Amino acid sequence: MIDGKIFVTRELAPAVIQRLRTEFREVDVWAPYEPPTPAELADHAVGCVALLTMVSDRIDEELLNAAPTLKVVANMAVGYNNVDIIAATARGILITNTPNVLEETTADMAFGLMLAVARRVVESDSDTRAGNWGLWHPGLWLGHDVHGATLGIVGLGSIGSAVARRAKGFDMQIKYTARNRRHDSEVKVGAEFVPSLYDMLSQSDFVSLHVPLTDSTRDLISTSAFDAMKSTAYLVNTSRGDVVNTDALLAALQNGTIAGAGIDVTSPEPLTPDHPLLQQPNLVITPHIGSATHATRNRMAMLAAENAIAVCSGASALNLVGRDL
């Protein structure tokens, strides 16, 4: 039994909570649907040896100062830009994530957004529900084909490669750009490496983003990038909202610089109800649900729990991040 407390910042599957209760002396689970405020998070972190957090929980220096006994922050996400890695490392606090769990599910979402925006599924569904389905007409709700089109992937990691495999089944021409060339993936999915981001954008009918949020990828897709894209092209983003400049995206959608976009992430997140992006008919938007299936979320939660248990038991973390800092 681990002689310490873990704070879990959201309710998780009963099996995950039960697993934690078998290992930790005290398990504190945040019950409300609304997430804890920074002050509430800091208050519950007092006396903890572990935190099991979501990517929306800001783990900053102020919070870490409130939890001097903390050993590990087990983030239930692949990304960890919500955690001040430098401040945590300076205090000897380990940070873990949950990779190799959500890749296929997120790739499904990316492809779903691609199909939904190109074939105008959401627009036509809303119009039909509003009672506007009249006589059939050959010009009704025309969209663009996905099969046989050219897909440009930004970042051919595990999720990008999973998207490429799906694209192969749609007979798409696959191009990609990345910081490091992936020869093995090129062979597996038949992808063509394009060194220049803007060259790839200009050649693509669909552009799908699969990069982590770093200083070099923040606002990676801004006005100049949209200007490089075809006016008939679509952008899909299931990575991080800040990879795309929100004002530039809005302008590109309003001005017809691109045909449309399908996004699962935004900046800021969430958007305010009156945000002008939400009024754009050529945008399909979902509330960061790329990994939101029963099986995948449960696997993510259990992996985060096992990471916390391992560190607090004196074993090696299963998925340690930030070790190079």
Q: Which of 166, 240, 297, 299 is catalytic?
A: 240
| CATH number of the domain to which 271 belongs | 3.40.50.720
Measured CA to CA, the distance from residue 41 to residue 33 in angstroms comes to: 14
Q: Which of 165, 218, 275, 288 is catalytic?
A: 288
DSSP of 264-285, one letter per residue? S--SSSSPPTT-GGGG-TTEEE
The CB density around residue 278, as the number of other CB atoms within 10 Å, is 12
pLDDT band at 323; cut points 50, 70, 90: low
Statement to judge: residues 126 and 252 lie in one domain: yes
Q: What is the pLDDT of residue 79?
A: 87
Share of the chain above pLDDT 90, in %: 96
* DSSP one-letter code for 80: -
pLDDT band at 324; cut points 50, 70, 90: low
Q: Which of 21, 181, 269, 323 is catalytic?
A: 269
Q: Is the pLDDT of residue 325 over 60?
A: no
Annotated catalytic, 103? no
What residue ranges in the chain does DSSP mark as E strands?
2-8, 24-29, 48-53, 72-75, 94-96, 150-154, 173-177, 192-193, 206-209, 234-237, 260-263, 283-285, 320-321
Q: What is the pLDDT of residue 83?
A: 96
**Contact between residue 27 and residue 20 where contact means Cβ atoms under 8 Å apart:** yes
In this prediction, residues 305-311 reach a mean pLDDT of 98
Q: What is the pLDDT of residue 96?
A: 98
Annotated catalytic, 240? yes
Statement to judge: residues 89 and 237 lie in one domain: no
DSSP of 43-70, one letter per residue? HHHTTEEEEEE-TTS-B-HHHHHT-TT-
Strands 94-96 and 320-321, by their bridges, are antiparallel
Question: At 318, is the secondary structure helix, strand, or coil?
Answer: coil
Q: What is the pLDDT of residue 231?
A: 98
Annotated catalytic, 34? no
Residues spanned by the domain of 87: 2-101+294-321
Statement to judge: residues 140 and 237 lie in one domain: yes
The CB density around residue 145, as the number of other CB atoms within 10 Å, is 11
Provide the domain count of the chain.
2
Q: 76 is written with which tokens?
A: 């239930």
Q: Percentages helix, strand, coil for the chain, rounded to the nearest 5?
A: 35, 20, 45
Statement to judge: residues 89 and 112 lie in one domain: no
